[in-house]
Amino acid sequence: MSNLEINNIIDQHLTPHSMNADFCKRVYSTDPSIYSQRLRKIGFVNKERVLDAGSGFGQWSLALSELNKQVASLEYLEARVNVSKDIFTLLNKENIEVRQGSIENLKYDDNCFDAIFCYSVIYLTDWKKTLSEFYRVLKKGGVVYICNNGIGIALYNLLFNRNPSKDFNQRLYAFRNLVRHFSFSKIFPMASVIVFPSKMKRELARLGFENIIIDGDGQIQIDKEANSNVTQFYKHKFLGLTNVYEVIAYK
C-alpha cells in the first residue's frame, strides 16, 4: 500500500497534528506484518466471520481480512469510520464491512461471529455491558480476544506523557483516570475505566466464558506453530503494576 495515498486520505478527513491524525499516521506507518503476526499467534486465522470491535482507523481489520473470510469493522467515531472506509476502498478490500456504532449495544444477531477482536477499547465503554454483548453475538465455541489497560499505564502516562498532541494531553487524561478510579465515582465520565485482570476474569467466567487466559500484551500463544517473537506494543508491567494485558476466552 502507498503511504502517500493513505496520508492523503488522512489529511482529507482529519485536522493536521490532532490526536486523531497523529494516531492514524502512526498506525499506518507501522509494518502491517506486525499485526498479522500478532493475529497468527492468537490463532485468529481461517475464521468465517470476525468482529473488530472498536476498530479505530482499521489497521487490525485489514490484517484480519487477510487471514479470515469476513470482517465486521465497528467503530464509534464517524471520522474514523470514514477514514477506514476510504482506505479499504483504496485497497479493494471487499471482505470488510464497516459500520458506525457502539460495542456496548451491538446491532448484530445472536451467535453470529466466530471470533471477536477488541484492542484497547473496552476500558472506554461500560465494560460489563460490552462483555455481555460479546457473549451474546459470539457463536458457541467462538473466541474473544481483548487487550485492556491496567493501572500501570495510567501511572506511566502521568509520569511520561506518552504521545502528546496539539489537542490531547495524555498526562491530564491519566490524572483524570486515576482520580476517577480512586474516588470510586463517575466524577470524570470521559475518563477511562481501570479494570484489574482478576476482575475481568471473574466477570468473563460469570457470563459463561471458559478457558480464560490472561497475560501481557502479545504474550498469549494459541497457535504453537506461529512465530512467538511478535512485536509487543506495551510492556506487561510498569513499576510492578499491570500495564497492558490481553485476554483470550471461549464461549
Looking at residues 95 to 114 of the shown chain, list those that interact with ligand SAM (rule: CB under 6 A): 102-104
How far apart, in Å, are the Cα atoms of 220 and each of 73, 77, 195, 208, 215?
A: 23, 29, 19, 21, 6
Q: Please tell me whether residue 75 binds ligand SAM under the rule CB under 6 A.
A: yes
Among 28, 35, 44, 60, binds ligand SAM (CB under 6 A): 60
54 sits near ligand SAM (criterion: CB under 6 A): yes
* Binding residue (CB under 6 A) for ligand SAM from 7, 33, 34, 76: 76
Which residues sit opposite 242 in a β-bridge? 237
Examine residue 55 and tell whether it contacts ligand SAM (CB under 6 A).
Answer: yes
Find out whether 107 and 125 touch, Cβ atoms under 8 Å.
no
φ, ψ of residue 250 to 5 degrees: the values are: -120, 145
Please give the full DSSP string across 130-176, using - where no structure is assigned. HHHHHHHHEEEEEEEEEEEE-HHHHHHHHHH--S-BTTB-HHHHHHH
By Cβ distance, which residue is nearest to ligand SAM? Answer: 56
Minimum CB distance to ligand SAM smaller for 74 or for 131: 74
Residue position matching grid coordinates 465497528: 74
Among 120, 148, 192, 221, binds ligand SAM (CB under 6 A): 120
- 148 binding ligand SAM? (CB under 6 A): no
Q: Which of 7, 27, 33, 128 binds ligand SAM (CB under 6 A)?
A: 27
Contact residues: ligand SAM, CB under 6 A: 27, 54-56, 60, 74-77, 80, 102-104, 119-121, 124-125
